[in-house]
Amino acid sequence: MAKKKTSRTVTRDQIAEWVSQFNDEALLADGMEGAFMGVCDIAGQPTIAVYDRQKCIEILAKDMEADECEDQYSLAEEFFDFNVVGAWMGENTPRFVTLYSPEEGEG
């Protein structure tokens, strides 16, 4: 019988310690521990931290206050695109992956 996977919370310190094995100058996204996926290697570039874009936006949306014109997710997405993705801090800046979903990919 296969073991059932259990979800556990990973702390920023645990992520930082693990990522530092690959690149001790890699930057992490503050407050996005729940969206951390791993690291990415690109030829000629430092290894960097990688996050799930959708999960990052969901984390932000939990704390957003929406008015009657916009919903929390839309506000979080706008904030994320401008303040997180748009915050280039050099070659060690984390990357944010949009996962493919067959339902969304069909046109």
pTM of the model as a whole? 0.84
> Does residue 106 lie in a domain region?
no
> Does residue 23 lie in a domain region?
yes
At residue 16, the pLDDT reads 97
Domain that holds residue 61: 12-98
Q: How many domains does the chain have?
A: 1
Q: What percent of the chain has pLDDT over 90?
A: 73
3-class secondary-structure state, position 58: helix
Of 28, 99, 88, nearest to 58 by C-alpha is 99
> Does residue 84 lie in a domain region?
yes
> Does residue 62 lie in a domain region?
yes
Question: What is the tens place of the pLDDT at every residue in 3-50?
Answer: 555 557 899 999 999 999 999 999 999 999 999 999 999 999 999 999
The pair phi, psi for residue 10, each rounded to 5°, is -110, 135
